[in-house]
Structure 1
Amino acid sequence: MNVEFFLRSHPLFGALPASLVAELAARARTRAVAAGEILCREGDAAESVYVLLSGRIEVERDGKGAVASLGRRGELMGEMSILTGNPRSATLRAELPSELLEIPASAFQQALDRSPDLGLRLAQVLSLRLSGAASPPSSTRRPCYAGFLMAGPQRVPAARALAAQMVGVLGRPVLVYDLGATQNAPGLLQTLSNVPVEGQEQFVRTLAQQNPTGVTELTGTIREDHWSYFLSILRETYDRVVFGIPIPFFQPIHKTVCEACDVLVPVCGREIPADSAVEKLRALGKPMVVARTQGRARAPWVGFAGVSDLAIPASEEDVADPKALAPIARKLLGRSIGVALGSGAARGYAHIGVLEELEREKLPIDYVAGTSMGSVLGGLYAAGRSPAEMAEFSRDASRLRAIFSLLDLAIPTSGLLRGRRVEKHFRKLMGDVEIERLPRPFRTVATDVLTGEEVVLDRGPLWKAIRASISLPCLFEPARHGSRYLVDGGVTNPIPVNHLLDLGADRTIAVNVTAGPPQGARAPGILTVMMNSIYTLQTLVSDARSSLADVTIVPEFGGLSWTDFAKAPEMIEAGRAAVRRALPEIRRLVT
């Protein structure tokens, strides 16, 4: 970097005599610091003044963590101690890999002595800073930088499509920059080197081209040793950037860019990132949202800390379809939505009405979790079945003949029903689709009847997981799952909102269908006694679990009972009505 040119274009040093600028440049040195590295400590003697070239620096005082975050290029740090002669008043730590210009205290003091104008300008800067009238620090405008990692020729159009979806949500420009070009060729930064520091942001805007979708694209190559500086310019110019990063990787430039990103989005299609590359990505400590193309299984490393996944409703060839990357865009912007469907036997049919009404409101559902009857309908929805299809299934299943056809009585050792016919029915309904290949991330739960532990079911055949989650104690024989004996998940977690959060949902909706047992005048039968006892206990747990959600939908069932399987249409309508009552809350959730 041309230090003398940088100082001449700096607002504070630019008015100094040329000879003095040359002397400062000769004595200054550039210093690179890694993320987490301490630049200076509170209480240290002041030996230097720092000017930020690129990156971001945290300011810590009294051991209480960061009190400010400085990311504006040209930001001056450490000058107060030089002026007062006191020790450092704060610790400076690199929040991101950063580069600074370090000016010795003696050189800075000599410049002050020889140029009254420098002292006057510095006093103005300090006055503005102390009064709070200075420009807001860049930390008030937290950028979202996404590294979009993909193999093949679809990377560039897919990155544009992702940015277009982000523009549609935000209503603000999103920049796309692809790293596929040869990065060591002369290019963009050589052009910028002739522009004063205070004009570089506007100059970058003039170089970028905006297409009709609102996506802004910047082209031109950046030398590897200039990237940190270029990223700093971008942070002051665009608060949303999508970097297209080719697979296979990992070149040094890829690491530099990935370190600057807030989130990484590797695409798993025909070519899945190699384990060694994934380990390098994970070592960066960045959140990852794995985008898997249609029909691809969840990558084995999804589920590690900070790693979630979302399915793209398109093949690898069609990944650049305008709507295919909408779930990823919502996740990057913190607006992904998950729905938890609670247990409730026949009342669970209300979930169909809830999903139908949410779709009518055009509410996108990115994650699904369910327990017991909620696992049946949630699993079908995650597999791509529509509420209309589920309503048709419910009408068929609610006929008495259909209900009785699923009953296979057992000698009552661990349950009245074997559950084999139910298994056969679910397998016919769902096929052998595996949970990790579902179009929407899905999770259900069951209960280990021997230990009382909650068991998370998020892999393997969908029908097997659902069979375990609906195994009402005493009614069904427990489902075998390895060495475990599993019963209804509602015993431990009737509304699994916490699993939506684990999957990665930013905003959550719970559907509680156990609230308010019906009042009846007739003497209850043995089945009613058993189910009312279980679901009355679940009601208490459901209230606590649903409190984790941003919005809770509670259908009103009147006299409809948990055992009224023949009244599916009335249950579905109760779900629709509950969503209509909750619409004000739901609409606030998505804005």
Structure 2
Amino acid sequence: MAQKVALVLSGGGAKGLAHIGVIKALEENNVPIDFIAGTSMGAIVGGMYAAGMSPQQMIDHFNSEAFDTWLTGEIEDEYQFFYKREADDAEWVNVKFDVDSVFSAQLVPTNIISPYQMDFAFLQFFAQPSAACGYDFNNLMVPFRCVASNIEENKAYISRSGDLGSAIRASMSFPFYFKPIEINGKVMMDGGMYNNFPVDVALEDFNPDVVIGSVVVGNYDKPSTDDMISILQTIFMTNTDYSIPDSLGVLVKPNVRFLELLDFSTPNSIVDSGYVAAIREMQPIKDKIEREVTPSEV
């Protein structure tokens, strides 16, 4: 029986663009990817690939002006008619007080970045693949799982079906930066809060023969006093086991720890870091995986 291979992609913000380089190297070396599981940025990259995007298409997207609007929340001019346009305002966060607000639970906003442009982009990317797979992630071009955090029940939530865009959007909803969303009536946030490297999910759901893991973060990345996002990451993200036993698979570790969590200014170099790291581990990968696939079979 042919070996089955699962690719597991960690969370890690901008560092997760390195996963694209890992996938590119695996494709070029005819390494099969039969299943994908990812968290946060790993869910975005993994979901795009599972939905049929090539590494080059992903690279092009993350170099585009459209992607910049994900990070800023700015609505592109061509879509302004979908939303109520408000006067320009230089404020970063606007908190309004009145007599009753002292007792209001909604005093502080839940997000810095407006979600509208990102939500619209996710609809564009994932609505058609969701419908085509019958809202069953096993029926995507590559069977896929992603992890979000159910903050009402304080546990990880595994998305196996439903709207693909919503599942990925939940997985990458970093606390206070991106607005949380609801799935099945439960409030969901970034999956890294409970499981930032879902090897266990891949094993339980797919039972692969070999696991290739791409890890772009660690448990002991020191936060910067000048970087609120890294401080929030340290507060909210639980310790994760980022290892894979040698008997089970191979771990790829791109050299991206110098990057800040949301520094997307050099996407090509981040992708290259993933590519180089995967090439470095290619012989151990091929030692474990005898089966090959041609580009036409991918």
CA spacing shift, 1:486–1:418, aligned 2, 3 Å: farther
TM normalised by structure 1 equals: 0.40
How far 1:397 sits from its partner (Å)? 5.5
Partners of 2:249 and 2:94 lie apart in 1 by: 43
Residue 421 of structure 1 and its aligned partner are, at CA, apart by 2.3
What does 1:304-323 align with in structure 2 at a 5 Å threshold? none
**In the alignment, does 2:269 pair up with 1:570?**
yes
The Cα of 1:358 is off from its aligned counterpart by: 0.5
Shift of 1:346: 0.4
If the length of structure 2 is used for normalisation, what is the TM-score? 0.76
Paired residues of 1:517 and 1:561 also in contact (CA < 8 A): no
Find the partner of 1:582 among 278, 281, 287.
Answer: 281
After superposition, the Cα gap between the structure-2 partners of 1:570 and 1:500, relative to the gap in structure 1 and judged at 3 Å, is same
Question: CA shift at 1:472, angstroms?
Answer: 0.9
Contact 2:217 2:257 in 1 (8 A): no
CA–CA separation in structure 2 for the residues paired with 1:367 and 1:523: 39
Q: Which residue of 1 aligns with 2:44?
A: 376
Preserved CA contact (<8 Å) 2:69 2:117: no
- Quote the residue 2:210 is aligned against: 507
Select the residue among 245, 249, 253 that pairs with 1:554: 253
1:269-284 paired onto structure 2 within 5 Å: none
- Separation (CA, whole Å) in 2 of partners of 1:517 and 1:555: 16
1:346 to 6, 9, 14: 14
Q: Aligned to 1:439, which of 141, 144, 167?
A: 141
- The answer as to whether partners of 2:155 and 2:194 remain within 8 angstroms in 1 is yes
Residues 402-450 of structure 1, C-alpha deviations (whole Å, 9 max, x = no match): 6324589786343334523211111112234225231111111111112
SS of the counterpart of 1:487?
Answer: strand
Q: Which residue of 1 aligns with 2:185?
A: 483
Which residue of structure 1 lines up, in the alignment, with residue 232 of structure 2?
530
| Residue equivalent to 2:58 | 390
Equivalent residues in 2 for 1:487-498, closer than 5 Å? 487-498=189-200
Within 1, Cα distance between the matches of 2:69 and 2:167?
26
Matched ranges for 1:66-77 at <5 A: none
* Counterpart in the other structure of 1:448: 150
- Structure 1 residues 391 and 472 mapped into 2: Cα distance closer, same or farther (>3 Å)? same
Cα drift, residue 506 of structure 1: 1.8
Aligned partner (choices 453, 461, 466) of residue 163 of structure 2: 461
Q: Distance in 2 between matches of 1:419 and 1:442?
A: 24
Structure-1 residue corresponding to 2:4 = 336
* Residue number in structure 2 paired with 1:125: none
- Contact persistence 2:171–2:191 (CA under 8 A): yes
Query: Is this contact kept in 2: 1:518–1:559, CA < 8 A?
Result: no
Q: Which runs of 5+ in 1 are unaligned?
A: 1-331
| 413, 428, 434: which one aligns with 2:124 | 428
Deviations 1:362-389 (A, max 9, x none): 1011111111011111011011111011
- 1:461 CA displacement: 1.5
Aligned to 1:419: 115
Give the aligned length. Answer: 254
Contact 1:512–1:552 under 8 Å retained in 2: yes
Task: Report the Cα distance in structure 1 between the residues aligned to 2:213 and 2:232, rounded to whole angstroms.
Answer: 25
Runs (4 or more) in structure 1 with deviation over 6 Å come to 407-410, 516-520
Query: Higher relative contact order by CA 8 Å / sep ≥ 6: 1 or 2?
Result: 2
Letter of the 2:253 counterpart: V
The one-character-per-residue Cα deviations of 1:244-293 (angstroms, maximum 9, x if unpaired) are: xxxxxxxxxxxxxxxxxxxxxxxxxxxxxxxxxxxxxxxxxxxxxxxxxx
Is contact 1:398-1:568 (8 Å) kept? Answer: no
Q: Is contact 2:148-2:189 (8 Å) kept?
A: yes
Distance 1:353 1:456 in 2: 25
The CA RMSD measured in Å over matched residues stands at 2.7
The structure with the greater share of residues assigned to strand is: 1
Contact 1:350 1:555 in 2 (8 A): yes
Matching residue's letter, 2:27: E
Letter paired with 1:469: S
Confirm or deny: 8 A CA contact 2:40 2:190 kept in the other structure: yes
Counterpart position of 1:403: 71
For the pair 1:541 / 2:209, whether they are aligned, the reply is: no
How far did residue 504 of structure 1 move? 3.2
- Write the distance in 2 (CA, Å) between the matches of 1:454 and 1:369: 13
Alpha-carbon deviations, 1:274-323, whole Å to 9, x = none? xxxxxxxxxxxxxxxxxxxxxxxxxxxxxxxxxxxxxxxxxxxxxxxxxx
Residue pairs, 1:198-347, within 5 angstroms: 332-333=1-2, 335-347=3-15
Q: State the SS of the aligned residue for 1:566.
A: coil
After the TM superposition, which residues 79-90 of structure 1 pair with which residues of structure 2 at under 5 Å, given as runs?
none
Identity %: 27
**What are the Cα deviations for residues 160-179 of structure 1, in whole angstroms up to 9, with x where unaligned?**
xxxxxxxxxxxxxxxxxxxx
Residues 417 and 558 of structure 1: CA distance in aligned 2, closer, same or farther (over 3 Å): closer
